[in-house]
Amino acid sequence: MRDLLAGPTLPQLICIVVFCCVSWLLLSLRKSLSKPRPRSVAILVLGDVGRSPRMMYHAESFAKLRFETFLVGYEGSKPVPTLLSLPHVHFLYLSQPPPFLRKLPFIVSAPIKILQQVLTILYALLWRIPCPPEFILVQNPPSIPTLALVWLVGALRGSKVIIDWHNLGYSILALKLGSDHIFVKLAKMFEAYFGRAAHVHLFVTQAMHGFLVKEWKLQGLKAVLHDRPPAHFHPATAFEIHELFLRISPSLPVAFLPPHDPPASTPLTRVTSSASPSLRPDRPAVLVSSTSWTEDEDFSILLDALSIYEQRARAAHGRLPRVLMFVTGKGPLREPYMRKARSLQDGEGDPWQWVHITSTWLEPGDYPLLLGSADLGISLHSSSSALDLPMKIVDMFGCGVPVCALDFACLSELVIDGTNGVIFQNATGLVDHLENLLEGFPNALNLESLRASFRLAIDRRSISSREDEGWVWNSWDDNWTRVVRPLVLPDVHGIFELEVNDTRTRC
Ligand SMILES: *[C@@H]1O[C@H](CO)[C@@H](O)[C@H](O)[C@H]1NC(C)=O
Ligand SMILES: *[C@@H]1O[C@H](CO)[C@@H](O)[C@H](O)[C@H]1NC(C)=O
Ligand SMILES: *[C@@H]1O[C@H](CO)[C@@H](O)[C@H](O)[C@H]1NC(C)=O
């Protein structure tokens, strides 16, 4: 332990101090020389850039307005392809904390890790971006240390700060530690202090907007921008379902599914004489839930509901379909819950016949296809702050799939009970909805009427933007242009004014 401490930290400490002094000097020098460059933005995500869809859409929206767009974050999953092809987007990846930290005890490694993060972020924002950006957009949470750094860089370089409030960092910490823990209180003070003043605050829900404005007295412009799924999320065609199930059905239990003979048929589809696949009438109903398997999702509700469904389906004499339940996602509680699921469905001498739960691993590209193939989505999300909305429902809606969602405070900003989904409070509520929606499947009238809402919502959007005619599902671009664009380009109205003035590239 002593050796580990004495080895790497002392020389590092000296380097850090020298680095700080030198950068400070150069910084003051540069600051007097350069002003923020108009129409440029740094977007900071303290996480895997490729797994931060919302920040990638912001980047795309800015880049389409010809902002020089610098995305700062960790390298991991592949970013969305459109982003890679836009000319004004630059990826600045942060280096990962050195691996030896993992061997140190938390109390030692945590401060070193934060220090390393602070330095790499400052280095990226102050040096790797050549001219001070006009805007710095930061995702919150994580709040520590990003909010403070962005605040500092904003003050030093004159950049305007935009905070995109996805959730509250301290409320996530409180899930682990309890809300009375001293760390949670400190985190809350930090977040409230450094989050208070910004040029623009964006919120993922109206509820978060209301709460923060009231509680923390936020200063700056404020706007709500709901989440939307990536553009390639769409209802799957029979052909896509066929292709997907050719790939994944080998991992599904043969006995449970209707007989199939790839490549001519899959559990859901069959190639008919016309040579294009179509959905088969004896298919099971496909339900899908995606989760990050964390404490804020109580999966036992789903397991209880499916146990009851199994009993009801046995007694229903064919009125209810078989249910193939996909649960996607990775996370800490996956193993315990899936073990429980397996032991339930294996029964004790009496295995389930009407329900099968599987947590098949999917290629990332298959996730939207699976959602698009589903008949119904299930969300067990309950928010740590009760102020954010589950992205998985947004994704399902993008695929035209209605949802059964566990109720929580601001769910009504997304799910309209009886129009695009149904809402439940507990396992009995869920199984009642399942029975009601799936009865008569594949000709399930109640389910069909929910699914029809999506076709209408999309039609309404293309015909008119009036909101009094019923539910409209508008896109990220629609609202970004309407809500955010006027905040970042207040003086530019026509597209011709976007033409790049070459002189501005000097810095
Ligand atoms: C766009 O704005 C409308 C009206 O404010 C809202 O209902 C809708 O959810 C918003 N969509 C997005 C993507 O923010
Ligand atoms: C389940 O929720 C319903 C409302 O949807 C409620 O009437 C019922 O009492 C709840 N059951 C339990 C066991 O809490
Ligand atoms: C471009 O910018 C320069 C300096 O800011 C300004 O003098 C010039 O008028 C601009 N040109 C156009 C076409 O806007």
Strand partners, 201: 163, 222
Best residue among 35, 134, 502, 503 to mutate for probing ligand 3, ranked by most atoms within 8 Å of CB: 503
Cα of 480 to ligand 3 centre, how many Å? Answer: 27
Best residue among 205, 226, 389 to mutate for probing ligand 1, ranked by most atoms within 8 Å of CB: 226
State the closest ligand 2 atom to the C-alpha of 428, by its place in the atom list counted from 1.
1
Q: What is the pLDDT of residue 138?
A: 97
Strand partners, 71: 43, 91
Cα of 32 to ligand 1 centre, how many Å? Answer: 42
Instruction: Please tell me whether residues 407 and 301 are part of one structural domain.
Output: yes
Name the domain boundary from 202, 224, 246: 224
Cα of 304 to ligand 2 centre, how many Å? Answer: 14
Q: What is the pLDDT of residue 10?
A: 63
- Is the torsion defined by CA of 42, 48, 54, 59 positive or negative? positive
Q: What is the pLDDT of residue 172?
A: 85
Structure tokens at 72: 């700062």
Cα of 131 to ligand 1 centre, how many Å? Answer: 34
State the closest ligand 1 atom to the C-alpha of 413, by its place in the atom list counted from 1.
9
Assigned domain for 479 exists: no
Read off the pLDDT of residues 115-153 as tens digits, 9 standing for 90 and up: 999 999 999 998 899 889 999 999 999 998 999 999 999
User: Which residue from 388, 335, 397, 408 is spatially nearest to 368, judged by alpha carbons?
Assistant: 397
Contact 210 CB / ligand 2 (< 6 Å): no
State the closest ligand 3 atom to the C-alpha of 502, by its place in the atom list counted from 1.
1
Contact 258 CB / ligand 2 (< 6 Å): no
Q: Whole domain around residue 21: which residue ranges? A: 1-33
Q: What is the pLDDT of residue 230?
A: 79
Instruction: Please tell me whether residues 60 and 111 are part of one structural domain.
Output: yes
Q: What is the pLDDT of residue 99?
A: 87
Assigned domain for 258 exists: yes
Closest ligand by atom to 203 CA: 1
Q: What is the pLDDT of residue 1?
A: 43
Residues of the chain under the 50 pLDDT cut: 1-7, 32, 502-503
Instruction: Please tell me whether residues 68 and 170 are part of one structural domain.
Output: yes
Ligand 3 first shell, C-beta below 6 A: 501, 503
Assigned domain for 150 exists: yes
76/56 Cα distance (integer angstroms) = 13
Name the domain boundary from 194, 224, 254: 224
Instruction: Please tell me whether residues 388 and 413 are part of one structural domain.
Output: yes
Cα of 411 to ligand 2 centre, how many Å? Answer: 18
Instruction: Please tell me whether residues 294 and 163 are part of one structural domain.
Output: no
191/182 Cα distance (integer angstroms) = 14
Q: What is the pLDDT of residue 6?
A: 47
Name the domain boundary from 224, 247, 267: 224
Assigned domain for 117 exists: yes
> Buried (b) or exposed (e) across 283-319, using 16+ Cβ within 10 A?
bbbbbbbbbebeebbbbebbbbbbbbbbebbeeeeee
Q: What is the pLDDT of residue 241?
A: 96
Q: What is the pLDDT of residue 135?
A: 96
CATH number of domain containing 428 = 3.40.50.2000
Q: What is the pLDDT of residue 20?
A: 74
Total domain count for the chain? Answer: 3
Assigned domain for 304 exists: yes
Instruction: Please tell me whether residues 144 and 174 are part of one structural domain.
Output: yes
Assigned domain for 388 exists: yes
Do the beta carbons of residue 401 and residue 376 sit within 8 Å?
A: yes
User: Which residue from 475, 450, 472 is spatially nearest to 461, judged by alpha carbons?
Assistant: 472
Cβ burial of 459 (10 Å; 0-12, 13-18, 19+) is: exposed
Instruction: Please tell me whether residues 10 and 139 are part of one structural domain.
Output: no
Do the beta carbons of residue 244 and residue 373 sit within 8 Å?
A: yes
The enclosing H or E element of 78 equals none
Assigned domain for 292 exists: yes
Instruction: Please tell me whether residues 138 and 154 are part of one structural domain.
Output: yes
Instruction: Please tell me whether residues 209 and 261 are part of one structural domain.
Output: no
Assigned domain for 155 exists: yes
Q: What is the pLDDT of residue 463?
A: 55
172/170 Cα distance (integer angstroms) = 5
Q: What is the pLDDT of residue 505?
A: 52
Cα of 367 to ligand 1 centre, how many Å? Answer: 25
Structure tokens at 107: 């109390």
User: Which residue from 22, 21, 23, 14 is spatially nearest to 128, judged by alpha carbons?
Assistant: 23
Do the beta carbons of residue 282 and residue 328 sit within 8 Å?
A: no
Q: What is the pLDDT of residue 131?
A: 87
Instruction: Please tell me whether residues 44 and 23 are part of one structural domain.
Output: no
Instruction: Please tell me whether residues 376 and 316 are part of one structural domain.
Output: yes
Look at ligand 2, atom 10, and give the residue with the nearest C-alpha. Answer: 426
Q: What is the pLDDT of residue 331?
A: 85
Q: What is the residue-wise DSSP string for 341-359?
A: HHHHHH-SS---SSEEEE-
Please report, for the chain, how many H helices and E strands are present, in that order.
Answer: 17, 15
Closest ligand by atom to 503 CA: 3
Q: What is the pLDDT of residue 292?
A: 83
Strand partners, 138: 44, 163
Instruction: Please tell me whether residues 316 and 285 are part of one structural domain.
Output: yes
Beta strands in 155-236 (DSSP E): 160-165, 197-203, 219-224
